[in-house]
Amino acid sequence: MICALYKEVIFPVVHTNSYRKSEVYIRGATHSVVDPAHIYQEMKFFIVDLSNKNFSSPIEKAAFAHAQLVKIHPFYDGNGRTSRLIMNLSLLNDDYPMLNIKKEMRSEYFFALNQYGENKDLNPFIKFMETAMFHQIDEFLNKYRLQ
Protein backbone atom coordinates (compact mmCIF):
# COMPACT_ATOMS: atom_id res chain seq x y z
CA MET A 1 0.00 0.00 0.00
CA ILE A 2 2.82 2.42 0.86
CA CYS A 3 4.50 1.87 -2.51
CA ALA A 4 1.14 2.26 -4.27
CA LEU A 5 0.47 5.59 -2.50
CA TYR A 6 3.97 6.74 -3.33
CA LYS A 7 3.54 5.89 -7.01
CA GLU A 8 0.00 7.24 -7.41
CA VAL A 9 0.00 10.30 -5.17
CA ILE A 10 3.56 11.45 -4.64
CA PHE A 11 5.27 10.61 -7.93
CA PRO A 12 2.62 9.51 -10.45
CA VAL A 13 4.90 10.11 -13.45
CA VAL A 14 7.89 8.14 -12.15
CA HIS A 15 6.71 4.54 -11.98
CA THR A 16 9.23 2.73 -9.86
CA ASN A 17 8.47 -0.69 -8.47
CA SER A 18 11.30 -0.84 -6.00
CA TYR A 19 12.94 0.84 -3.07
CA ARG A 20 16.08 2.91 -3.46
CA LYS A 21 19.28 1.07 -4.33
CA SER A 22 21.88 3.58 -3.15
CA GLU A 23 22.68 5.73 -0.13
CA VAL A 24 20.86 9.00 0.47
CA TYR A 25 21.18 11.62 3.18
CA ILE A 26 18.56 13.74 4.87
CA ARG A 27 19.57 17.38 4.63
CA GLY A 28 19.83 18.87 8.11
CA ALA A 29 19.52 15.52 9.92
CA THR A 30 22.23 14.24 12.23
CA HIS A 31 21.31 10.59 11.83
CA SER A 32 21.73 8.25 8.90
CA VAL A 33 18.96 6.33 7.15
CA VAL A 34 18.68 2.59 6.58
CA ASP A 35 21.25 1.04 4.28
CA PRO A 36 19.68 0.17 0.90
CA ALA A 37 20.47 -3.53 1.39
CA HIS A 38 18.21 -3.59 4.48
CA ILE A 39 15.25 -1.49 3.32
CA TYR A 40 13.02 -4.40 2.28
CA GLN A 41 13.55 -6.17 5.61
CA GLU A 42 13.03 -2.95 7.60
CA MET A 43 9.80 -2.22 5.71
CA LYS A 44 8.54 -5.71 6.58
CA PHE A 45 9.36 -5.10 10.26
CA PHE A 46 7.69 -1.67 10.03
CA ILE A 47 4.42 -3.14 8.71
CA VAL A 48 4.42 -5.88 11.38
CA ASP A 49 5.08 -3.33 14.14
CA LEU A 50 2.38 -1.00 12.82
CA SER A 51 -0.13 -3.87 12.79
CA ASN A 52 0.79 -5.60 16.04
CA LYS A 53 2.15 -3.01 18.48
CA ASN A 54 -0.10 -1.77 21.25
CA PHE A 55 -0.09 1.98 20.95
CA SER A 56 -1.34 4.14 23.81
CA SER A 57 -3.25 6.46 21.46
CA PRO A 58 -4.01 7.09 17.80
CA ILE A 59 -1.52 9.97 17.90
CA GLU A 60 1.25 7.65 19.09
CA LYS A 61 0.44 5.21 16.29
CA ALA A 62 0.43 7.96 13.65
CA ALA A 63 3.66 9.42 15.08
CA PHE A 64 5.33 6.01 14.91
CA ALA A 65 4.14 5.47 11.33
CA HIS A 66 5.53 8.84 10.24
CA ALA A 67 8.82 8.77 12.17
CA GLN A 68 9.71 5.17 11.38
CA LEU A 69 9.01 5.57 7.67
CA VAL A 70 11.20 8.68 7.57
CA LYS A 71 13.94 6.81 9.46
CA ILE A 72 13.86 3.94 6.97
CA HIS A 73 13.73 6.41 4.05
CA PRO A 74 12.81 3.77 1.45
CA PHE A 75 12.57 6.07 -1.59
CA TYR A 76 15.00 8.43 -3.28
CA ASP A 77 12.62 11.37 -2.93
CA GLY A 78 9.21 12.09 -1.41
CA ASN A 79 9.75 10.21 1.87
CA GLY A 80 8.50 13.13 3.99
CA ARG A 81 5.38 13.63 1.89
CA THR A 82 4.69 9.90 1.87
CA SER A 83 5.15 9.63 5.64
CA ARG A 84 2.85 12.62 6.29
CA LEU A 85 0.24 11.00 4.07
CA ILE A 86 0.54 7.71 6.00
CA MET A 87 0.38 9.64 9.30
CA ASN A 88 -2.83 11.39 8.23
CA LEU A 89 -4.38 8.18 6.91
CA SER A 90 -3.66 6.59 10.28
CA LEU A 91 -5.28 9.51 12.10
CA LEU A 92 -8.36 9.42 9.85
CA ASN A 93 -8.65 5.66 10.29
CA ASP A 94 -8.90 6.25 14.05
CA ASP A 95 -11.48 9.06 13.64
CA TYR A 96 -8.97 11.82 14.37
CA PRO A 97 -8.58 14.92 12.20
CA MET A 98 -5.70 15.16 9.77
CA LEU A 99 -2.74 17.19 10.95
CA ASN A 100 -1.50 20.12 8.91
CA ILE A 101 2.15 20.85 9.69
CA LYS A 102 2.51 24.55 8.99
CA LYS A 103 5.65 26.32 7.77
CA GLU A 104 6.17 28.05 11.09
CA MET A 105 6.30 24.64 12.81
CA ARG A 106 9.07 23.24 10.60
CA SER A 107 11.98 23.63 12.99
CA GLU A 108 10.09 21.95 15.87
CA TYR A 109 8.88 19.26 13.47
CA PHE A 110 12.37 18.47 12.18
CA PHE A 111 13.85 18.59 15.68
CA ALA A 112 11.28 16.09 17.01
CA LEU A 113 11.76 13.77 14.02
CA ASN A 114 15.52 13.96 14.44
CA GLN A 115 15.16 12.87 18.08
CA TYR A 116 13.52 9.69 16.85
CA GLY A 117 16.15 9.19 14.16
CA GLU A 118 19.02 9.62 16.59
CA ASN A 119 17.71 8.06 19.80
CA LYS A 120 14.57 6.09 18.86
CA ASP A 121 12.77 8.49 21.24
CA LEU A 122 9.26 8.97 19.88
CA ASN A 123 8.08 11.15 22.80
CA PRO A 124 9.22 14.52 21.35
CA PHE A 125 7.37 13.77 18.11
CA ILE A 126 4.23 12.62 19.95
CA LYS A 127 4.33 15.83 22.02
CA PHE A 128 4.84 17.89 18.84
CA MET A 129 1.82 16.22 17.20
CA GLU A 130 -0.38 16.65 20.27
CA THR A 131 0.50 20.33 20.58
CA ALA A 132 -0.01 20.94 16.85
CA MET A 133 -3.34 19.09 16.96
CA PHE A 134 -4.59 21.14 19.92
CA HIS A 135 -3.61 24.41 18.19
CA GLN A 136 -5.26 23.31 14.98
CA ILE A 137 -8.51 22.38 16.76
CA ASP A 138 -8.46 25.67 18.73
CA GLU A 139 -7.99 27.66 15.51
CA PHE A 140 -10.88 25.81 13.91
CA LEU A 141 -13.20 26.36 16.87
CA ASN A 142 -12.28 30.05 17.14
CA LYS A 143 -12.86 30.57 13.43
CA TYR A 144 -16.29 28.93 13.40
CA ARG A 145 -17.50 29.79 16.89
CA LEU A 146 -21.09 31.06 16.90
CA GLN A 147 -21.34 34.65 17.95
- Our CA dihedral for 19, 70, 46, 76, rounded to 10 degrees, sits at 0
In the annotated binding site for ATP, the residues are: 77-84
**Cα 59 to Cα 129: distance, rounded to the nearest angstrom:** 7
In the annotated binding site, the residues are: 77-84
**Cα 116 to Cα 60: distance, rounded to the nearest angstrom:** 13
Residues with catalytic annotation? 73
